[in-house]
Structure 1
């Protein structure tokens, strides 16, 4: 055995002993134990054979729940303690909002169907699961350089001659989504600072701005491992103000903005405000070990990307974090500010559709 192997083995034993004495358990051996209390930073991630750099395919060969594995009974019970006032705040836009979805998606349609007229009726929905308040599932966006979705899933698994259910949205439905949510009301913070921006145009929300926003709300958005207030398994919500601005526009403006030309690359005319795709944000989103992340705009990150990668690639394909978009965070922001309470219990029920790509959120916060 080489000196380096001896050193590595000794370090591993030392880590295990230290964990035993401090009641901390460090995630080291794949598959990771989701009940661990310490997890590697992005820069400490193990190299996984056949996986792209920065891939965190660490929960098992056949895992398609990703970071939802962090929503353990212990963490869900702890999250329930955030319920102080018992106020329920749904975060779902009406199914017909936006009236014209972006990216060429189909608008919502409803058809009333008589069963026994005039005393019994059904209705039929025609919708794109990502036309409104949505979870992007792990089949939605691949790691572009390798063409791999989360945990070695490929397009052949979705639409090949022998498709299967790898990375299907039904895994998220079967696991369930419930935990501690945290809201960063960037729109309110920016207005307070006199920083005006258009949510329907490219605007990066940097890590430094998010940090200052949190500080203004009285919270430290760094992970607990670095002395902050974010706990492993928290669910992130970022309000950019897109929903508020949507309702301020005329129907004609909404349609025009949604149908702007979209192209692959930085010059796309379809543009939105969102979280920056800088390295600081990548480190933060990974190292906080959020179970899921979400925003109120059609894109979580500032769109289109001005870098050689998309944040979608990291969040969905590499890390397996459900990604929410177009959540209605208006009432939630109002209630959080009213109570000066930015953490809350959150639950969501994705569609149990085997082979599904995405789902409406069907979510609510409870303060």
Structure 2
């Protein structure tokens, strides 16, 4: 490409009208289309496959895609105005998965009989949550999103790089799209326990989408997924959790008696670790992905990698876990529509790692 043509293309991208050139950094969030995973540029100093494309000082990753234009367009999904909260109680699941601390709530008396305060003691990973970019690194290089290191998170040189408060200051609002895999599986005699390592493959998600009238390919490939969509996948963990007694939860979900195998003792259904899934999650340009189980991906992984590494550290894509999708799934099935307006308000905590989601779907 000639230098004049290249400058013209970069100008078009800057104005938001054209396809984003892979090598024209930083990328323009308002571009009409973005490169596939196989065409990602090589970023100096970054792990292979990193999409650190929004600028060296970027802290919000794929949330850059939630531009005013896309948020306004997403608001057209509001048809009835029904509000559907997507948050579990802060003490649910009980006990928390992965040996996290229990939520503790104390009432403080400010003035006898006339004024009270709350005191909360919690782990932001204990209930409906967003995994922030400081939560999980690319394991081979021990690097978090956009070059963040452990020393940036904790210690004498700690700073605010990729802190969760950046998400709060930007805000999260856009078009949500639900794939109700649990409903699809039951309808097609796919019997599995959500508290097992059941893997949800890309091909199964394709079939699930078809039953809902959704082509899960990105819009650029002729599908129904729009740039900036927030993906929600219901695997059935919340449903299963509600069926168990506290004693059963301690045995089936928490595995608190198996200390020899550590976190590998836990088992949860989730998205399969496979190339088709990785390409799809990247190429759809979701602004965030969400599940109703403690890990989003199938746990434990059967591969030498975790999807967390791609989603969080390589791509900077917010990852939600343990969202309560039960009421939303029922209403979507009743109305035969699987898209909606979605808002979430992460905690404004400078230096924070993650946050409870504080999420609502508006139908």
Q: TM-score range by the shorter chain?
A: over 0.9
Distance 1:36-1:322 versus aligned 2 partners, 3 A rule: same
Q: Deviations over 1:205-257 (max 9, x none)?
A: 00000011000000101000100000000000000011001000111011123
Distance 1:36-1:263 versus aligned 2 partners, 3 A rule: farther
Q: Is the 8 A contact 2:88 2:128 kept in 1?
A: yes
Of 17, 20, 45 in structure 2, the residue corresponding to residue 26 of structure 1 is 20
Q: Is the 8 A contact 2:10 2:21 kept in 1?
A: no
Q: Pairwise mapping of residues 53-202 of structure 1 onto structure 2 (< 5 A)?
A: 53-202=48-197
Task: Provide the rounded CA distance (Å) in 1 between the counterparts of 2:162 and 2:20.
Answer: 27
Name the residue aligned to 2:198. Answer: 203
Q: Deviations over 1:13-46 (max 9, x none)?
A: 68569989x9434244111110001101000000
Structure 2 spans left out of the alignment, 5+ residues: none
Task: Provide the rounded CA distance (Å) in 1 between the counterparts of 2:320 and 2:2.
Answer: 40
Q: Is the 8 A contact 2:13 2:31 kept in 1?
A: no
Name the residue aligned to 1:312. Answer: 308
Of 317, 321, 333 in structure 1, the residue corresponding to residue 317 of structure 2 is 321
Q: Is the 8 A contact 1:27 1:36 kept in 2?
A: no
Following superposition, the deviation at residue 258 of structure 1 comes to: 3.5
Following superposition, the deviation at residue 12 of structure 1 comes to: 3.8
Q: Pairwise mapping of residues 248-267 of structure 1 onto structure 2 (< 5 A)?
A: 248-260=243-255, 261=258
TM-score (norm 2): 0.95
Name the residue aligned to 2:32. Answer: 37
Q: Is the 8 A contact 1:262 1:270 kept in 2?
A: no
Q: Is the 8 A contact 1:178 1:345 kept in 2?
A: yes
Name the residue aligned to 2:328. Answer: 332
Task: Provide the rounded CA distance (Å) in 2 between the counterparts of 1:43 and 1:329.
Answer: 33
Distance 1:137-1:100 versus aligned 2 partners, 3 A rule: same
Segments of 4+ moved more than 3 angstroms: 7-20, 261-265
SS for the counterpart of 1:181 is: strand
Q: Is the 8 A contact 2:293 2:323 kept in 1?
A: yes
1:235 lines up with 2:226 in the alignment: no
Structure 1 spans left out of the alignment, 5+ residues: 1-6
Q: How many residues align?
A: 360
Distance 1:98-1:355 versus aligned 2 partners, 3 A rule: same
Task: Provide the rounded CA distance (Å) in 2 between the counterparts of 1:73 and 1:84.
Answer: 20
Following superposition, the deviation at residue 8 of structure 1 comes to: 7.1
Name the residue aligned to 1:3. Answer: none
SS for the counterpart of 1:353 is: coil
Task: Provide the rounded CA distance (Å) in 2 between the counterparts of 1:17 and 1:352.
Answer: 35
Task: Provide the rounded CA distance (Å) in 2 between the counterparts of 1:52 and 1:62.
Answer: 17
Task: Provide the rounded CA distance (Å) in 2 between the counterparts of 1:138 and 1:18.
Answer: 31
